[in-house]
Amino acid sequence: MNLLKVVKLSSKDAENLTVLLHRAYQANEVLGIHFKAASVDVKDVRKHLLSVPTYGYKDEKGKIVSTVSVRLPWSYNAGPFNLPHLGWITTDPAYQHQGYGKSIINDVLEQYVKKVLNAPAVTLGTAVEHPWLQETYISLGFTPIEEVRKFSDHKTVYLIKTFDVSLLEQVSDEHLQRILRKQAIKGEKE
């Protein structure tokens, strides 16, 4: 893996990012799992880039190799909890299995979510039915906290990565706090 620097993407990257999302999410379509990113149009990608912090690795020609967005609780496309939520996590198929996906997640968590936002935790979601994504996120320190049926073709599992438990307990989100209490009770019984 060539070491690439994470950059914040702008609306000028909309076409490049749309191509990446379509290419990368195609593999999920083959599995029968439809993520909206697989068919998002350039106009919606541009809107996303204008309001949702989105980061990428670019190769020497400026092509986006890997990307992740950080949906903020106050944005138009907030995540399910009152925490930053990672989305559009993907790597170009030509660059997969080289560590770019894991690396960009870690870079964005360290350089933005923790340092800039000072967030106590971050969440993400994926399809329960996906054969390896949930395990990949668990290997990065995420813990499954809730499964919901939002779409007819798959269940969504939400995962959380906690940076500061005491601050997380102060997050004003009754649903999240109820889930965390259940997790704590479940953990005590195991």
Domain residue limits at 43: 6-189
Residue 91 counted as domain residue: yes
In a domain, 39, yes or no: yes
Q: Which residue has the higher pLDDT, 112 or 32?
A: 112
- Domain contains 1: no
Nearest to 127 by CA among 27, 46, 21: 27
- Asked if 25 contacts 37 with a C-beta cutoff of 8 angstroms, the reply is yes
Instruction: Tell me the pLDDT tens digit for each residue of 50-86.
Output: 999 999 999 988 999 999 999 999 988 899 999 999 9
Distance CA 117, CA 29 (A): 34
Q: Is 180 inside a domain boundary?
A: yes
Instruction: Please report whether residue 181 resides in a domain.
Output: yes
Please give the C-alpha separations between residue 138 and each of 22, 34, 132, 134, 144, in angstroms, as whole numbers: 25, 22, 10, 6, 8
pLDDT tier at 190, thresholds 50, 70, 90: very low
Evaluate whether residue 58 is within a structural domain.
Answer: yes
pLDDT of residue 164: 94
For range 161-190, the mean pLDDT: 83
Count of structural domains within the chain: 1
Q: What is the pLDDT of residue 52?
A: 96
Nearest of 12, 90, 8 to residue 45 by alpha carbon: 12
CATH number at residue 105: 3.40.630.30
- pLDDT digits 0-9 by tens, 111-159: 999 999 999 999 999 877 777 788 999 999 999 999 778 766 668 889 9
Six token digits for residue 133? 């994504």
159 contact partners, CB below 8 Å, separation of at least 6: 123, 124, 125, 126, 134, 137, 138, 142, 143, 144, 145
Q: Which two tokens stand for residue 82?
A: 């009152």
Helix axes 42-51, 14-30, angle to 10 degrees: 110
pTM: 0.90
Could you tell me which of 8, 120, 151 has the C-alpha nearest to residue 68? Answer: 8
- Tell me if 125 is assigned to some domain: yes
In contact, 86 and 119? CB cutoff 8 Å: no
Whether residue 76 lies inside any domain: the answer is yes
Output the pLDDT for position 18: 95
Q: What percent of the chain has pLDDT over 70?
A: 91
